[in-house]
Amino acid sequence: MAQTLDEQVAVVERALGECMIDTALVVVRAWLNELGENNPYEEAFTSIQKRYHEIFTQWLNIDVPSSDEELSKITGETYQMVDAVYADIRLLRGLSPEIHGFNHDSITSVMHYFENCVRFRPEDMEWYKEVMNDESKASLALAATSALAHNLRTCFSLEAFLTMIECMSVENETVLDQCISNVALLLVQYDIRIDFFPQIQDAVVNVIGENDLSEHVFEVLCALVESSSKNWIEELAKSMFEDNQFPDELKRLMEMSGMGHDSQTFAQLFPSQEHKYITEVIPLIPRTWLYALIIEGYPSREKALAYVMVHAGFRDAMWDYPQIAEKIYLEILREGTDKPMDYINYAHCLLLRGDRMMAYENYKQARLLCKTSKEFFALFRPDRKNLIDHGIPLEHVYVMEDQLINP
């Protein structure tokens, strides 16, 4: 069965993330065949393929210090070629609007154009920067930012991304927060690419430094993590449309462009897939360049982010900050949970701190909530490695498991 376009993109991203150029080029070759013989990418494709094979041949025979640097350079060039070819494929398949412009006063037109266009014109980016800095057009700025971010998630554009980063300096706080959150999510998503696009690194460092945004970006990141613990879109929609209550700022922005106060309009501003996307991206934060820039080296920020991540249900942070996690899970247990995993998480924290007796009691409670030992160990055993990596001897884990088979 033929792969879908999204599946092909996933293959390319995974391959280039590990510098597996040949694997990525198989997909690119299929795209070039679809574009036809007169496509403008054949020369670049052949050059990349030839240089990559030369590096491999060289590597088989002798270690050359410059080969790693050349491989990194070729990978970056392949990313750029893939972006250009993918954009043309979207145009060919009718997945992108023709470059005919858009109605600057219509939110629907703005959102359609910025979410689907793959060949932005310089004047499009100039218009975007203009509305981002014009408080009277804040509703258009919010719509364009949301749409552009969705576009960049699937069709990377260095120029558009740099423009969005530049707009992190706007003064309107509502627009600024949305811009920062979308830039942050894109930086996390494309972290594997950052080293190949130093322009992005430089732009982010400069705009944060020049506008003293470090603390602000951190607060927005924490807010993103907190929002992932529940579908905030649905909850906000409920409060707005069932109770007929609108946040003053959003109401004012909607009124600026004559937008109606209804759920359909709200859905336009906040696409339904937003929550799913956030929950998939958030767990990656601690391993990214953005984390190193904004959080690493700031103990108070590290602990604060760990707290919101554990509280939002991302367990990875629990292993590095068990003291914080212990307090959170204790609160959950006091509220009367019936989930075995909550007891297991709390017991993990106790065991890491050395309180074996209380750890056993909570493991036992989790075991009693499970119908069978198989059900319990399906929850417990995936954490074996983390327990061992954080200092619990394997023998101790075995002893604990032995006592939990038939509590």
The structural domains of the chain, with segments of one domain joined by +, span 5-92, 107-280, 315-404
- Is residue 35 a contact partner of residue 94, using CB atoms and an 8 Å limit? no
Give me the percent of the chain exceeding a pLDDT of 90: 53
- Report the pLDDT value the prediction gives residue 230, as an integer from 0 to 100: 59
pLDDT at 407: 66
Q: 209 burial class (0-12, 13-18, 19+ CB within 10 angstroms)?
A: exposed
Asked if pLDDT for residue 324 goes beyond 90, the answer is no
39 confidence band (pLDDT: 50, 70, 90) = very high
Q: What is the pTM of this model?
A: 0.78
What pLDDT band is residue 318 in, cutting at 50, 70 and 90? Answer: confident
Q: Residue 145 in contact with residue 132, Cβ under 8 Å?
A: yes
Give 359: exposed, middle or buried? Use CB within 10 Å, 0-12, 13-18, 19+: buried
**Domain 315-404 in this protein, CATH class:** mainly alpha
Please list, in sequence order, all residues whose beta carbon lies within 8 angstroms of the beta carbon of residue 134, skipping any fewer than 6 positions away. 141
pLDDT of 250 above 70: no
Helix (H) or strand (E) run with residue 294 in it: helix 289-294
Task: Give CA–CA dist 45/30, Å, rounded.
Answer: 12
pLDDT band, very low/low/confident/very high, at 387 (cuts 50, 70, 90): very high
Percent of the chain whose predicted confidence (pLDDT) is above 70:
87
| Cα distance between residue 226 and residue 220, in whole Å | 10
